[in-house]
Structure formats: structure tokens, C-alpha cells
Amino acid sequence: MKIIVFGANGPTGRRLTAQAVAESHEVTAFTRHPDEFPATGPGLRVVGGDVLDLPSVLDAVAGHDVVLSALGVPFSRDPVEVYSRGGRNILAAMHRHDVERFACVTSSVMEPGARTGGLVFDRIVQPLVAGTIGRTVYDDMRRLEALVTASSLAWTIVRPSGLFETEDVTAYAVGDRHLPERFTSRADLADCLLRQATDATWVRRAVAVATTEVKPSMVQLIWREGIRKSA
């Protein structure tokens, strides 16, 4: 399978690229900083480019079977457009080159009225993050979801909960649109994204992915993952 990964140099993208290479796919890692990309391996090609630059995206997508997007940016009070503008360019390139299969990452916050079952988290923590420090990121994710769901592609939207690190992939849970879980490890998110390259179960649907075996500290999650890192 010939796979191109956008957001390949982010925390999830690096995991995704390494896992795809380990499974013997032909992988193109698309990144603004190719000289800083750490992964190596047979079948891996690293391409420099900016997802906001349509010509470079058009060139990169050509010849691939599957497009996977792990694009992500840190929370900011400034307007964010990486998801929507980048997504628009990716979709345009896919249509241009007749590439059908697409999977991208947004967030469990995208599901209206979603609940985790925890009173403090549902009523205080999540509204605080979604409505203040993460508002511009989540607004742009919603624009991305609208673009993707309106397309004619064989798309899947993957929605993790709060992101954190585990060394390995766990026996994670998947579900339709939303799961009542608070956390998703990047290893599990990357694995779920990669499964979409060869599995049609979730085509034209949003799938929730959540880690159930390991649970990080809520304080560490908000500080390390919500404020300091991107997806």
C-alpha cells in the first residue's frame, strides 16, 4: 500500500509513520522540516512541503493509494486554519489524482453533547478547554469535518480523547462517533489511523478511539498535552 502521511513530524505523525513502515507499506512522510524527521526504514520517503501550499500538496499526493492526516497544532488564542486550509488542499489534491481513501484526526469534542460520565470533567474541565484555551483549534477542526463530510471521498474521521503517551499500542476501544472515555494514547491513535488504510468498516463515518488500559493524571494531561503539545 502506498501511503502519504501529513503532519508526519508531529507526535502522532511520527508514530503513524514508523508503524506504517514497520508493516512494510510504502510511506511518504510530508513535513515542513524534512531534515528533522527522525524515522528511517525501507520504503520510507521524506518530502518537504507546507500543507498550506497547494502546489506542494498536489505534487506530494500523486501516485498514492491512501492519504492519512495527523495534522495538529498547539492550543492558541490566535485564529487557527491549519486543519481547514490544509484539509482543503489535501482534498483538492486527492480529487485531482483520483485518490479515494482518506482518514484524518479531529477530537472527541466534535460530538455534540458528548459525555464521559465524570461530573467534574464534563461540567468544568472540558468546557474550560473547549471554550477558552482550545476554542480556535476546535473551531477549525469543525471546519475540517464539514469539508470532509461534504466530499465524495471514502473518508474516515478519527476522534481521540485527551492525548497522552504510551510506549506501545494497547487493546484500545473504537466506537461510532463517540466513546465515554477521557484519554487516548498517541500509539493507539496512530494504530487506529493506520487500520483505516486497509479496513473499510468506518468509511464515511466518524470513529472514536480511546485507551482503556492506561490512564494518565488529569493535571499532567492538561499541562503536557493540552497546552505544550500538538496532536
CA distance 161 to 179: 9
Domain ranges of the chain: 2-227
Instruction: State the pLDDT at residue 222.
Output: 54
Task: With CA atoms as reference, report the closest residue to 89 among 148, 142, 31, 37.
Answer: 148
Average pLDDT of the chain is: 88
| pTM of the model as a whole | 0.87
Instruction: State the pLDDT at residue 182.
Output: 83
Residue pair 30/59 in contact (Cβ under 8 Å)? The answer is no
CA distance 102 to 94: 9
Where does the chain show beta strands of DSSP type E? Answer: 2-6, 26-31, 44-48, 66-69, 101-105, 154-160, 162-164, 173-176, 183-185, 205-210
CATH architecture of the domain 2-227 equals 3-Layer(aba) Sandwich (3.40)
pLDDT tens track for 42-96: 999 999 999 999 999 999 999 999 999 999 988 787 889 999 999 999 999 999 9
User: Which regions of the chain are under pLDDT 70?
Assistant: 112-134, 217-231
Instruction: State the pLDDT at residue 230.
Output: 45
Residue pair 176/136 in contact (Cβ under 8 Å)? The answer is no
Instruction: State the pLDDT at residue 124.
Output: 47
What sign does the CA torsion over 126, 219, 137, 107 have?
A: negative
Instruction: State the pLDDT at residue 209.
Output: 97
* Residues 6+ positions from 29 with CB-CB distance below 8 Å: 5, 8, 9, 13, 17, 37, 39, 44, 45, 46, 47
